Amino acid sequence: MKKHLFSILLVIVMIIGIIPYTTIAEENDSNSSQAENYGEFVDGKKVISDMIEKNGMYAHPRIIMSEEKFAKLKSHIGDDSVTAILIEKLRKEADRTLDMPVCQYEIPDGIRLLETSKRIQRRVAALAMAYNIFGDEKYAQRCYAELEAACNFQDWNPRHFLDTAEMSTAFAIGYDWLYKWMNDNQRSFIRKNLMEKGFNQVMEDFEDKPRSRTYRWYQDYPGDNWKLVCCGSMSMAALAVGDETDTRNIASEILTYAYKEAYSFVRRAYSAKDGTYSEGLGYWDYATYYLGLHSSSLTSAAGTDYGLADYDGLRKSVDFVRYMSSNTSKSFSFGDDGDSRDTGWAVLLWLGEYYQSYDISAIRLSKIKNDSFNYLDLLWIDEDKTSASAQDIPTDWGEVGASNASFRNSWDESGIVAALHVGENKYKYHGHYDLGSFYIESNGARFFTDLGNEYYELPNRQYSYRIRAEGHNTLAINPSQELDQEEGAECLISSFSGGNEAYAVTDLTAAYVSSGAESVIRGLKMIKDKECVIIQDEISLKAPGDIYWFAHTKGQINVAENGRSAVVTVGSEKMWVGIISDAGKFTVMNAEPLPTSPVVPDQADNSDYRKLSVHLTNTKNTTISVACIPLKQSEIQPSWTPSLKTISEWSPQITEGDVNGDGKVTVADAVLLQKWLLAVPDTNLTNWKAADLCNDNRLDMFDLCLMRRKLIYG
């Protein structure tokens, strides 16, 4: 025993010895940092003071753009750069706007002015930017007309404050970028309306004064994307007018409130573990691009963002977007995200610049030529620094304790991609009951997908088909009128491995407790050299009951006569789907509620979708294992199919020093091993018995590592 204990201690000492000091120091710094310190930030008065010291009084433009940045853009006019393509798209958009009538005050749904606010913001940005690049007064005149019309609105609909925030962004950009063109009366008119319709309204929110709001975004905790949109927009506006006598005091207050709230939200919204943004990819874009506007505006105006975006969880969130998108840059649209929306977003240019990781910028650059114009591109594009390929990265993503995992056999569009979504069911924050859901795409065709969002104002929306588990690619167990997954249930990745036979496993039991589940384990595995994806569920119920397995598609489904396989066709692409476990047969169902589900009138139309289903009745213990293999053009079935293995048999063989199980021994293995050693609550080494640890489902890879060392050291 002493010899064994000494060996363990010796290995620990050796491991710690080879870990770079900075690795440990960074962890300690991260753990000790307190959100209430707010980075280098002091208060809004200091920000305005820094702004004046950097630029001088009444110096414009200073909101993200500067005279130097506009001059650099001008230098690309007519050349063969991507920037030149964007500039031409800008000219065309600005020219289209010239002959359009100014926007009107419209709340078509009785709640939101939002589309009008966004339209005005886009027009103002395009026209003001066009004026600064091309120098033609027609753009400035038309831009001011849009701002003037919005000044004459009765309000900017502060009841739904997102509308006011988006409008304030337009006014921040318009005031700053047209400052030198406007006369004193015009500037005063813009500031007066920004104060009345924007600043005074947001101060009511910050100070929690009596007011009418659809959502008290500032008081809500932990909150959602509104935190970054509202704080970012109002900060931009405050920076635009912060050196003016009539707005300086309130601007400094807004900067203080907004910075602190945004700083704190960043550190709870983007997972420190893997960068996952729980509201989904679409809301990641909305929140993050306003964070980018906030950070960039502070940096351009005051010389620093005071550490606002300096957070590792935000940096990791780029991987969340990159890996949870397909090879065609379409999202895995879990939660309230749209159906496979495009994810080649302009904000990636900002993140690439901020973190000086230009492979991030390359993701957006590769999309611009075929995309519609987005003014954000011109704010952040710098082709001189963007050379790395967005594809020179690993193909597998995930880790134990994370909320999502994804796999692909290559980054080429012809490759096969699959992802698994877990995390926490949080309906209030754009969540659906979709734990365990997956998508599969091959050769650019989405074979199994999510249906997307349901109407926000739908009565009893929480029980609608698109929100419930039955409307996702997951399980429904003993379905009833109640929710078919637990609200608040948290299910994370419990086992993960990359390589040729890559997989992620999650324990979904917590999601199905009310459904009578004893144990529900789901695994998603990709066998890359065979282009095969396996979705496997090992289920145990407290009593015999009904189990449904669902996979939604827009493709055509043809089920074999024996019900044990099917072919899904999307366009010219085909995928064979087969049950490799003993139980069950496939049937094709419409994407509509089960007879046991509650009736929710006026739901979104799902007639474009069908679902492949397995339904087991009077079942207590079972395994449902489904293999998905793309077919070549001449095939009607694959030349190879996998044999059934239990999920516990998926684990790779661990060799000496190889903690990840990827067949390589690296410093990263030592770092992970150290983390696991430090994470074990029982620090008495004499009580560490591999035989005991192997059955507690606590630290799977740590258990394997101990078992390996037991074999080595005896």
> Is residue 693 scored above 80 in pLDDT?
no
Instruction: Mark whether 308 and 456 lie in a shared domain.
Output: no
Identify whether 248 is part of a domain. yes
State residue 698's pLDDT score.
Answer: 42
CATH code of the domain covering residue 620: 2.70.98.70
Instruction: Mark whether 635 and 671 lie in a shared domain.
Output: no
> Is residue 684 scored above 60 in pLDDT?
no
What is the rounded CA–CA span in Å between residue 196 and residue 199?
6
Span 13-36, mean pLDDT? 38
> Is residue 154 scored above 50 in pLDDT?
yes
One-letter amino acid at 476 equals A
Instruction: Mark whether 495 and 355 lie in a shared domain.
Output: no
Instruction: Mark whether 280 and 339 lie in a shared domain.
Output: yes
Give the Å distances, CA to CA, from 103 to 94, 158, 160. Answer: 15, 18, 18
Tally of CB atoms within 10 A around 88: 13
Q: CA-based angle 348:353:357, to the nearest 5? A: 80
Instruction: Mark whether 280 and 410 lie in a shared domain.
Output: no
Instruction: Mark whether 213 and 116 lie in a shared domain.
Output: yes
User: Which tokens belong to 571?
Assistant: 């366009």
Span 265-293, mean pLDDT? 96
Using pLDDT thresholds of 50, 70 and 90, give the confidence band for residue 710.
very low
Yes or no: say if 298 and 358 are a contact pair by the CB < 8 Å rule. Answer: no
Instruction: Mark whether 512 and 409 lie in a shared domain.
Output: yes
Using pLDDT thresholds of 50, 70 and 90, give the confidence band for residue 633.
confident
Q: Which residue has the tokens 């030529």?
A: 369
Q: What is the DSSP string of 367-433?
A: HHTTSPP-HHHHHH--GGG--S-TTSS-S-B--TT-SEEEEES-SSTTSEEEEEE-EE--GGGT--S
Using pLDDT thresholds of 50, 70 and 90, give the confidence band for residue 681.
very low
State residue 341's pLDDT score.
Answer: 87
Instruction: Mark whether 594 and 690 lie in a shared domain.
Output: no
User: Which tokens belong to 449?
Assistant: 């997908």
**What is the extent of the structural domain holding 699?**
2-15+655-713
Tally of CB atoms within 10 A around 25: 10
By C-alpha distance, which of 410, 406, 408, 402 is closest to 419?
406
Q: How far is CA 463 from the centre of its chain?
A: 24
**Three-state secondary structure call for residue 500:** coil
Yes or no: say if 589 and 613 are a contact pair by the CB < 8 Å rule. Answer: yes
State residue 634's pLDDT score.
Answer: 86
Instruction: Mark whether 355 and 341 lie in a shared domain.
Output: yes
Q: Which residue has the tokens 């907004």?
A: 258
By C-alpha distance, which of 548, 582, 587, 581 is closest to 566?
587
Instruction: Mark whether 670 and 544 lie in a shared domain.
Output: no
State residue 540's pLDDT score.
Answer: 98
SS3 content of the chain, % helix, strand, coil (to 5): 40, 15, 40
Instruction: Mark whether 350 and 413 lie in a shared domain.
Output: no
Q: Specify which residues 519 forms β-bridges with.
A: 540
Instruction: Mark whether 8 and 40 lie in a shared domain.
Output: no
What is the DSSP secondary structure assignment for residue 471, as one 8-state letter?
Answer: G
Span 2-26, mean pLDDT? 38
Q: Specify which residues 526 forms β-bridges with.
A: 502, 533
User: Which tokens belong to 339?
Assistant: 């159906």
By C-alpha distance, which of 695, 649, 650, 704 is closest to 672?
704
Average model confidence (pLDDT) across the chain: 89
Q: How far is CA 382 from the centre of its chain?
A: 24
Identify whether 142 is part of a domain. yes
What is the rounded CA–CA span in Å between residue 532 and residue 526?
6
**Three-state secondary structure call for residue 527:** strand
Yes or no: say if 68 and 350 are a contact pair by the CB < 8 Å rule. Answer: no
Report the run of H or E that residue 550 belongs to, with start and end.
strand 532-553
Least confident range of 33-47, 235-249, 501-515, 669-683: 669-683
Identify whether 672 is part of a domain. yes
- Which residue among 630, 650, 670 closes a domain? 650
pLDDT for 343-382, tens place per residue? 989 999 999 999 988 889 988 988 887 777 888 999 999 9
As a residue count, the chain comes to 714
In SS3 terms, 192-254 reads as HHHHHHHHHHHHHHHCCCCCCCCCCCCCCCCCCCHHHHHHHHHHHHHHHHCCCCCCHHHHHHH
What is the rounded CA–CA span in Å between residue 547 and residue 436?
15
State residue 673's pLDDT score.
Answer: 56
Using pLDDT thresholds of 50, 70 and 90, give the confidence band for residue 21.
very low
User: Which tokens belong to 139?
Assistant: 């753009």
Identify whether 24 is part of a domain. no
By C-alpha distance, which of 273, 302, 296 is closest to 346?
296
Phi, psi of 682 (to 5 degrees): -85, 100
What is the rounded CA–CA span in Å between residue 184 and residue 23?
55
Span 515-537, mean pLDDT? 98
Identify whether 492 is part of a domain. yes
Using pLDDT thresholds of 50, 70 and 90, give the confidence band for residue 18.
very low
Give the chain's domain count.
3
- Which residue among 634, 650, 666 closes a domain? 650
- Which residue among 626, 650, 674 closes a domain? 650
Which residues make Cβ contacts (< 8 Å) with residue 568, sequence separation at least 6?
Answer: 447, 448, 553, 555, 556, 557, 574, 575, 577, 612
Identify whether 305 is part of a domain. yes
CATH code of the domain covering residue 269: 1.50.10.100
Identify whether 435 is part of a domain. yes
Using pLDDT thresholds of 50, 70 and 90, give the confidence band for residue 311.
very high
* Omega before 61 within 30 of 0, i.e. cis: yes
Using pLDDT thresholds of 50, 70 and 90, give the confidence band for residue 667.
low
State residue 666's pLDDT score.
Answer: 58
State residue 549's pLDDT score.
Answer: 98
224: region left, alpha or beta (phi > 0 left; psi from -120 to 50 alpha)? beta
Span 260-266, mean pLDDT? 98
What is the rounded CA–CA span in Å between residue 622 and residue 612?
19
Burial of 490 (0-12, 13-18, 19+ CB in 10 A): middle
Identify whether 636 is part of a domain. yes
